[in-house]
């Protein structure tokens, strides 16, 4: 479905020329992005020609997918007005702003919370099918630089304006904040055990809309406000992490940006570093190793003398992951050594933040194994994977599955096909118990690596076991 504009869309034509995308190329990109979001689109070069020469405006999610496709090629977000589609069905680019003003930061975060659920209720499969833009690592540049320059606001005390919320404004107290912290702790546990796509984990956006947003729009002292912003930042980062785990990269990016802004309002520099580390892991996972290094190093530098030894260890480990993805073996080795050194200094009595409860030597070993996988050093991968798998736990099921896949890749690269398939079967069994697109992608990567051995009985068996996992939902 399309509707008529007045005359040619010269803006769209100009941006397509700037990006070097042909009509057929844009149609293909839009169809592919739609498929990733569960949409069946059949645009072709003629469709694009109509958009440009006749000013036809495609309906539904298409204008936002067009912006996303062009943005991916240009390496930056592309707003609808830049391509002459600003009057398309409204779905604003919420969550990408990092306001300097605390009041504006509250509005930015609560707008994101409300819009996400509005999309779900509309039956469109979630607002992220139609939001403008797509994952663009450049969108992290301004938030990271502003946080580095000013990691804490001077005051966050607030007198509520009744017009901002529904009903009478809430007078926020420490008990309200504690409820959010408990919700975050429950969500972390469910996420680790069942994956970001599990229904219990997916209640986090609902909690942000129903619980956190009214509190943020309420009245509070500076002391209570700092705690409120911190708890909201934890929940918002969790929403981003779960979106990341389920393959919703656009949603994850927006949640991370808002979580970083809330952490700044909380004056919680280690928490801000944790959000930056999450951004770094996403950038690294998406193939932007250099940008991942920058984000991780921002977390490290701002937290020197502030964060606990265990926290600093995790930040350096995330930095190592990014260096490895960027194929810098020396820098990765240096960061890994620093991470291990910080971890050795950690003590039981340290005042570690609650959100770091997952981090132990097992996790260090697991990420070190992934570093060496990216650096194509299978012997080191095997060594660290054995340590990472030495204490399997029901608490971190997803991590166990990821480690099994990494172990299988190491065995394959060492020439041990049977061992690789054995670990692969175990990984598939774990992946079938959780809802995690990231784990499924790891399994797909393993199967791709096994394609040269496709006729081997063990490989055939593994592929068959994985078929239900890889089947379209």
pLDDT given at position 63: 83
Whole-number Å distance between alpha carbons of 471 and 473: 6
Per-residue pLDDT, 169: 75
> Which CATH number do you get for residue 40?
1.10.260
Amino acid 433: pLDDT: 87
Looking at the domain assignment, is residue 442 inside a domain? yes
Q: Which of 83, 108, 134 is at the close of a domain?
A: 83
* pLDDT for the residue 470: 84
Domain boundary pick from 36, 63, 83: 83
What pLDDT score was predicted for residue 122?
33
pLDDT given at position 3: 53
Residue 245: inside a domain? no
Write out pLDDT tens, residues 49-92.
Answer: 999 998 888 876 788 789 888 988 887 778 778 898 866 544 45
User: In this structure, are residues 33 and 65 in contact, taking their beta carbons and an 8 Å threshold?
Assistant: yes
> Strand, helix or coil at 86?
coil
| Domains in the chain, number | 2
* pLDDT value at residue 88: 56
On whether residue 121 sits in a domain, the answer given is: no
Domain assignment of residue 316, yes or no: no
CATH of the domain at 395: 1.25.40
Boundary-marking domain end, from 67, 83, 99 = 83
In a domain, 301, yes or no: no
* C-beta atoms surrounding 46 within 10 Å: 11
Other CB atoms within a 10 A radius of the CB of residue 68 amount to 25
Q: Which segments of the chain have a pLDDT < 50? A: 1, 89-91, 117-133, 199
pLDDT at 115: 74
Phi and psi at 17, nearest 5°, equal -65, -40
The answer to whether the CB of 240 falls within 8 A of the CB of 252 is yes
pTM given for the model: 0.80
Task: Please tell me whether residue 468 adopts helix, strand or coil conformation.
Answer: helix
By C-alpha distance, which of 389, 302, 312, 367 is closest to 344?
312
| Residue 6 confidence (pLDDT) | 61
Q: Is 143 within a domain?
A: no
Q: Give the CA distances from residue 308 to residues 19, 24, 300, in Å, rounded to whole numbers and listed in that order.
A: 45, 53, 11
Angle at which helix 141-149 crosses helix 249-265, to 10 degrees, equals: 10
- Residue-wise pLDDT for 184-229, tens only, equals 998 888 888 777 665 455 688 889 989 999 999 999 999 999 999 9
Is residue 449 a part of any domain in this protein? yes
Q: Which domain holds residue 404?
A: 360-473
* Residue entry with tokens 């969790």: 238
381 occurs within a structural domain: yes
């Amino acid at each position: 479905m399309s509707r008529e504009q007045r005359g040619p869309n010269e803006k769209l034509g100009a941006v397509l020329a700037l990006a070097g995308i042909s009509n057929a190329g844009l149609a293909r990109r839009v169809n592919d992005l739609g498929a990733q979001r569960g949409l069946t689109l059949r645009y072709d070069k003629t469709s694009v020609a109509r958009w440009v020469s006749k000013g036809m405006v495609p309906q539904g999610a298409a204008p936002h997918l067009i912006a996303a496709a062009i943005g991916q090629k240009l390496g930056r977000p592309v707003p609808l007005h830049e391509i002459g589609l600003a009057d398309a069905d409204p779905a604003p680019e919420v969550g990408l702003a990092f306001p300097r003003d605390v009041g504006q930061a509250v509005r930015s975060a609560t707008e994101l919370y409300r819009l996400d659920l509005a999309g779900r209720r509309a039956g469109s499969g979630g607002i992220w099918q139609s939001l403008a833009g797509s994952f663009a690592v450049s969108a992290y540049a301004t938030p990271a630089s502003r946080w580095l320059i000013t990691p804490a606001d001077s005051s966050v005390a607030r007198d509520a304006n009744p017009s901002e919320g529904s009903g009478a404004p809430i007078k926020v107290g420490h008990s309200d904040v504690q409820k959010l912290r408990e919700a975050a702790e429950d969500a972390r546990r469910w996420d680790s055990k069942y994956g970001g796509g599990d229904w219990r984990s997916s209640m986090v956006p609902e909690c942000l809309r129903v619980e956190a947003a009214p509190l943020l729009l309420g009245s509070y002292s500076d002391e209570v406000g700092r705690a409120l912003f911190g708890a909201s930042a934890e929940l918002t980062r969790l929403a981003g992490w779960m979106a990341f785990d389920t393959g919703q990269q656009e949603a994850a990016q927006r949640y991370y940006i808002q979580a970083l802004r809330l952490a700044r309002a909380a004056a919680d520099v280690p928490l801000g570093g944790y959000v930056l580390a999450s951004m770094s892991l996403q950038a690294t996972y998406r193939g932007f190793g250099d940008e991942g290094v920058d984000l991780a190093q921002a977390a490290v530098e701002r937290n020197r003398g502030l964060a606990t030894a265990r926290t600093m260890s995790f930040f350096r480990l995330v930095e190592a992951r990014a260096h490895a993805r960027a194929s810098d073996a020396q820098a990765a080795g240096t960061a890994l050594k620093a991470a291990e050194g910080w971890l050795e200094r950690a003590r039981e009595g340290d005042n570690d933040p609650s959100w770091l409860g997952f981090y132990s030597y097992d996790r260090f070993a697991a990420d070190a194994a992934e570093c060496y996988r990216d650096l194509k050093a299978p012997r080191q991968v095997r060594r660290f994977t054995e340590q990472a798998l030495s204490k399997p736990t029901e608490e971190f099921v997803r991590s166990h599955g990821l480690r099994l896949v990494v172990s299988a890749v190491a065995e394959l690269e060492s020439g041990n096909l049977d061992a690789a398939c054995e670990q692969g079967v175990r990984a598939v069994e774990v992946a079938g118990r959780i809802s995690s697109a990231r784990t499924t992608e790891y399994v797909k990567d393993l199967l791709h690596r096994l394609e040269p051995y496709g006729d081997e009985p063990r490989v055939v068996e593994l592929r068959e076991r994985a078929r239900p996992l890889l089947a379209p939902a």
